[in-house]
């Protein structure tokens, strides 16, 4: 299994960051690569098991299932159901932790997935930098003081 791990410090309180990212259907409001998103079957976006269907700005489509969400521990875990990326068994977790020194947020985004070993380094970089770090950078711009 390939593994990706990216972390960052966001200059905003954890409650403010969580309010921005908690909505499983809210990616277009904070991630620069996402053009639009909808939750299938009209389910609530915080119901474990719901499926989001979203389009990237380049037109590609991805479907993901919410596997876990905690307002107490500030995390969400999801799996990819359909993606243009050549990955299998993809499961990711986005987790926030309060940094009490300066009222900031430590953010971690990790994923594990199967892929062709010849493409692992490319996919780890694409996901780590193009998805995870790009999301953190956008949150820093949006929520920074």
Mean pLDDT of all residues belonging to the chain: 95
Nearest to 84, CA basis, from 127, 42, 50: 127
Domains of the chain with bracketed CATH = 2-143 (3.30.530.20)
pLDDT digits (tens, 9 = 90+) for 64-110: 999 999 999 999 999 999 999 999 999 999 999 999 888 899 999 99
E strand or H helix at 11:
none
* Residue 144's pLDDT band (cuts 50, 70, 90): confident
Nearest to 127, CA basis, from 110, 141, 144, 139: 110
């Amino acid at each position: 299994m390939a593994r990706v791990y990216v972390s960052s410090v966001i200059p905003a309180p954890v409650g403010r960051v969580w309010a921005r990212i908690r909505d499983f259907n809210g990616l277009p409001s904070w991630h620069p690569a996402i053009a639009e998103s909808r939750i299938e079957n009209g389910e609530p976006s915080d119901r474990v098991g719901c499926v989001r269907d979203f389009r990237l700005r380049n037109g590609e489509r991805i479907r993901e299932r919410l596997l876990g969400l905690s307002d107490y521990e500030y995390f969400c875990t999801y799996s990819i159901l359909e993606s243009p990326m050549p990955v299998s068994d993809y499961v990711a977790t986005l987790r926030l932790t309060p940094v009490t020194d300066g009222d900031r947020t430590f953010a971690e985004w990790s994923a594990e997935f199967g892929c062709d070993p010849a493409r692992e380094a490319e996919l780890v970089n694409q996901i780590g930098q193009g998805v995870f770090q790009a999301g953190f950078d956008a949150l820093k711009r949006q929520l920074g003081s």
